[in-house]
Structure 1
């Protein structure tokens, strides 16, 4: 959770790029960048897996994060699964910002919008690394929390 009285204004993704391994996982973590009226920036993240690198931070041009869409690849059977590949956020200013994630899958619908305040916390569902011969997916789902 962001410190009390602060909201997320940007985010970064930990992404394993396609083709970097025999078993690609795409998103391995999401980091929120929070700030308050005092202007101090804090980072928060939920579970993170070991593969990939952190992308550049994507910031709201003004305002705070209010809602999101997750881009997910459906199960591929015997083919390499990646699960979550990218994410978009809508800022309180109306701007839509998108991560630098993978290309596979489709965006789901928009989450409910934070009606007061903004996004202030994160919880992720991550499949842990299962070893060399396992088709891992890393990040499978995410939940964001709103604060007033």
Structure 2
């Protein structure tokens, strides 16, 4: 059912429609035009690629968990590290049995990690681990993400190149409710970096 919801959300991003879907008896209303209170960013994001579409949690839900698409180190090959970020949105921060998943653009490589849930509350801030330009070396750009929850924090299962930057702003509102990613598409014989940067949106 969760996969079906994700597919429905992707179709709605393309069509711009509003509909309601149900998961485990809970009704989710999806809207790409959901009002948000603030947009959060970090100063160390990579500069390659272009910004994808904004994807928002269903109305009345906020992100309490996340998963990452990560390519493990490939040895002598072309590493891309972090390829995608997926937010998992719930009505209540202490009930994770039913959720809706949203994501912006995603790179072409790697696997999705298991969901990590806030110990309490919703996601309210983030920090990126980013490898700066390597010149003639192998660039990977964003490698990992660390989220601040209402209480506690959650580290992603990304890779270890690069450095942690400063924290984003802290949500003004109840919690993070959407995201937009900056992705470099496949470069053919060139150096691939996949995910470079991300912006998060906060809603009341």
TM-score normalised to structure 2 length: 0.69
Tell whether 2:86 aligns with 1:28: no
What does residue range 2-41 of structure 1 map to in structure 2 within 5 Å? 2-19=57-74, 22-37=77-92, 39=95, 40-41=98-99
Q: How many residues matched? A: 146
Point out where structure 1 has 5 or more consecutive residues left out of the alignment. none
Point out where structure 2 has 5 or more consecutive residues left out of the alignment. 1-55
Tell whether 2:173 aligns with 1:116: yes
Judge which range, 101-110 or 37-46, deviates more: 37-46
How much does 1:18 deviate?
1.0
What does residue range 1-148 of structure 1 map to in structure 2 within 5 Å? 1-19=56-74, 22-37=77-92, 39=95, 40-93=98-151, 95-131=152-188, 133-148=189-204
Paired with 1:97 and 1:37, the residues of 2 have a C-alpha distance of 18
What's the RMSD between the two structures over aligned residues? 1.4
> Residues 1-30 of structure 1, C-alpha deviation per residue, up to 9 Å, x if partnerless?
000111000100000111266111001100
TM-score normalised to structure 1 length: 0.94
Q: Which runs of 4+ in 1 moved over 6 A?
A: none
Q: 1:18 to 1:78 in 2, by over 3 A?
A: same
Q: Going by fraction, where is helix more abundant, 1 or 2?
A: 2
How much does 1:115 deviate?
2.3
